Amino acid sequence: MILKVYTSLLLLFLVNSVWTRTVRQVYDDLDPGHWSHYTSECPQECFCPPSFPNALYCDNKGLKEIPPIPARIWYLYLQNNQIETISEKPFANATHLRWINLNKNKITNSGIESGVLSKLKRLLYLFLEENELEEVPAPLPVGLEQLRLARNKISKIPEGVFSHLENLTMLDLHQNSLLDSALQSDTFQGLNNLMQLNIAKNSLKKMPLSIPANTMQLFLDNNSIEVIPENYFSAIPKVTFLRLNYNKLSDDGIPSNGFNVSSILDLQLSHNQLTKIPPINAHLEHLHLDHNKIKSVNGTQICPVSIALEEDYGYYGNIPRLRYLRLDGNEIQPPIPLDIMICFRLLQAVVI
C-alpha cells in the first residue's frame, strides 16, 4: 500500500517534470528567425522571452487590466499587479492557455465576467491567490488540474462549483474565511481525482464532510477543530499526509483508534491540547506532537505492536516504521525512555 502511494506521488511529479522539460526543449530549438514575429505581437507592457515564446510575462508591471493575449501563449504570468477584473476581451485569441497566474491582484467576484473562465477550455492551472474573492468563482474550466485560491476572503462555495472538475488533483483554499456551514456533504462532489486538499487557516470547528475518497494530502492546520468523528478516515482510505496542527484537539476529542490508520505515514498534531499520545499504526513514519500538554511517555503503551512479538520476529516482522518523533514543547523530561527505543527500532530522530 505504501509503495503504491509513493509510486503515485512520484509518477505525478515525473509526468509534470517531463512535460515541462519537453515543452521547453521544443521552444529552445525554434528558429531565431521567428523571434521578431513573436516580439512584434507581444503586448507593450509585457515581456516575451525569445527562448520561451509560448510564455507571456506581465508580472510586477503595475497593470490595472489584462492586456490582449496572443494566440500562441500557453503560460500567462500576471501576478503582483493591480488588476481588478477578468473580462472576455483579452482572451479572445488565447485558445491555448494552459497556465494563468493572477496571484496578488485586486480581483473580486463581481469583477469576473460571467463565463469567462469556463471558456478557457485547455486551462490546467489557475492561480488566484491573494485577491479579494469572497466566494469560489464559477463556472470553472472543466479540465483544471490545480486551483489555488489561498489568502482571499472566501466564505462561500457555490453549490456544484466542483461537480465537473474530474481532473482536479489539487485544491488550495487555505487562509480564507470558511465556516463549517460552507462545507456541505456535496461540496466536493465530482472531485474524483483530488490528491491534495488544503483548508488550513480557516474558521472550521468540525472536520469537513465528504472529503473525496482519493485524497492523499489533507491539511487542516490553524482551525478550531475539537473532535475527530469515529471512523472518519475510513471514507478517505488513501490519506497519507495529515496535518492538524494549531487546533483544539484534546484526548476526549479523539476516538480510541482515530489515528490508527494504515495509510497515514505523516501525522502532525502539534499545538493542540493532548495530554497523551494517541494510538498510532505501525506504518506511521513521522509523528509531530510538539507543544501539547503531554507529561510522560510510556513506550509499552504507545507501541502499535507487542514488544514481545517484535523481539521474536525482529526486522522481518511487522515492526513499527516510525522514523521521526517530535515531543518538544510538552512537559516531558529527558532522557528518552528505553522502551521507546525498543519499540521504534527505526527511529532516526527524536526531539524532546
User: What are the pLDDT tens digits along the chain (352 aa)?
Assistant: 444 445 455 445 444 543 444 344 434 444 444 444 455 689 999 999 999 999 999 999 999 999 999 999 999 999 999 999 999 999 999 999 999 999 999 999 999 999 999 999 999 999 999 999 999 999 999 999 999 999 999 999 999 999 999 999 999 999 999 999 999 999 999 999 999 999 999 999 999 999 999 999 999 999 999 999 999 999 999 999 999 999 999 999 999 999 999 999 999 999 999 999 999 999 999 999 999 999 999 888 899 988 665 555 454 457 999 999 999 999 998 888 899 999 999 999 999 8
The amino acid occupying position 56 is L
Q: Which three cell numbers stand for residue 285?
A: 513514519
Question: What local confidence, expressed as pLDDT, does residue 309 receive?
Answer: 55
Q: Tell me whether residue 346 is in a domain.
A: yes
Residue 104 lies in a domain: no
Range of the domain at 303: 230-239+263-308+315-351
Residue 294 belongs to a domain: yes
Instruction: Kindly state whether residue 300 falls inside one of the protein's structural domains.
Output: yes
Tabulate helix, strand, coil % of the chain (nearest 5).
Answer: 20, 10, 70
According to the model, what pLDDT value does residue 77 have?
98
Determine if residue 226 is left, alpha or beta; phi over 0 gives left, psi from -120 to 50 gives alpha, anything else beta. Answer: alpha
Domain-located, residue 88: no
Q: What is the pTM of this model?
A: 0.87
Total structural domains within the chain: 1
Please tell me the distance from the alpha carbon of residue 5 to that of residue 126, in angstroms, as a whole number. Answer: 26
Q: Is residue 252 part of a domain?
A: no
Does residue 267 belong to any structural domain of this protein?
A: yes
CATH code of the domain in which 282 resides: 3.80.10.10
Q: How far apart are CA 151 and CA 200, in angstroms?
A: 10
CA distance 291 to 209: 28
Tell me the three cell numbers of residue 14.
515525473
C-alpha grid cell for residue 107? 480581483
* The predicted structure's pLDDT at residue 29: 42
156: which DSSP letter?
A: B
C-alpha cell at 52: 520561451
Residue 291 lies in a domain: yes
pLDDT value at position 65?
Answer: 97
CA-to-CA distance for 193 and 327, rounded, in angstroms?
Answer: 35
